[in-house]
Amino acid sequence: MARVFLIVMDSVGCGGAPDAAAFGDEGANTLGHIAQACADGCAETGRSGPLHMPVLDGLGLGAAIRLASGVEAPGLGAVPQGRWGAATEVSRGKDTPSGHWELAGVPVPWDWTYFPDTRPAFPADLVAQVCALAGTGGILGNCHASGVPIIAEHCEAHLRTGWPICYTSADSVFQIAAHEEAFGLERLLTLCADLAPTLHAMKVGRVIARPFTGGCGDFRRTANRKDFAIAPPADTLLDVAAQAGRATHAVGKIGDIFSMRGIGTLHKGKSDADLFEHLLRLTEEAEPGSLTFANFVEFDSLYGHPRDVAGYARALEWFDAQAGQMLRRLQPGDLAVFTADHGNDPTWRGTEHTRERVPVLCAGAGVGALGLCGFTDVAATVAAHLGLTSPGPGRNLI
């Protein structure tokens, strides 16, 4: 039986979303702008020269960027030897749950709740609930912020008072940062788990635990981050596969994003390098007829939000080399799909995700253009390859 590996390169957008202006993102293009910066010699830290991604470009990455946005990305001009296209999202958001759920066949049917960019950002009754659950006299932060700067700003006060650092962003999230030893990792995770039902009822997509260690001058966020995401509103591709008796494997934070629904085996790691080791192993060991759904988050978390163009380029080139190893291990009949959930253009203003189309690259399905498509078409294509009924309204692209 055929197997499918659905691989999300978190935030690796390719521009051109038709509604980008409504999100303040008209002209954003994660891949296109990184490639241009590399060609211009503006991304030389730890790497050099034009963006080098021969494996994914060979499947059609450069062609997908041209299709999505009309941009000729320097260094990505290969003649495609795989199936390639660019997908457009219909859910009204540019966040992780929206993108992943829609790729799994289920667009978001509601408007997410976003907190205002004010000080304070959170309503008083929510703050009171956080304090009651945490057993503290207050919270720190209470504003829109990026993770590293807000911890740096409030680290000393956090260690002195024990108050959690609470912040949000342009996404539908409530994030809580706390010191793993001084506050306690389990205490932080329990706080987030207990608070999540209230936030989910408000249609806030995720409560995110952001633990860190070290002193105020040398703190670092750890790999013990945990997302408490609202459950998908309907059965997704994972549910359909599991209900049909297929083995399902979740690599990375897929388990968090889908609230563990439809997931048979979870494969976690402290880095994308750890996660790719799982993926390489699964290409050899995953059961016939199985679905492996993987997320590689460091493009987004380590390089997109901090606006680190050179770091993002290094990560793309590393990932491309790993993808080559994976493709060589595929078995006859396997389908590998490389795509993304949204953009996070490191050349863009601010620190938030960007509304973009995403590449759809397929290995194991012949050669040819897939055209402009929808996120739900990815789910329909995967379902068809597995001999399953698609959970949503998409069409099989192959």
Binding residues for Mn(2+): 10, 300, 305, 341-342, 353
DSSP string spanning 97-109?
HHHHHHHTT----
Give the burial string for 330-340 (b: 16+ CB within 10 Å, else e).
beeebbbbbbb
Q: Are 203 and 191 in contact (CB under 8 A)?
A: no
Q: Are 241 and 291 in contact (CB under 8 A)?
A: yes
The count of residues in the chain is 398
Measured between alpha carbons, how far apart are the two ends of the chain, in Å?
18
d(CA 340, CA 127): 34
**Could you give the residue ranges of the DSSP H alpha helices within the chain?**
30-39, 54-59, 61-69, 96-103, 124-134, 147-161, 185-201, 237-243, 254-257, 272-285, 298, 309-329, 375-386
The tally of CA atoms less than 13 A away on the side-chain side of residue 12 is 29
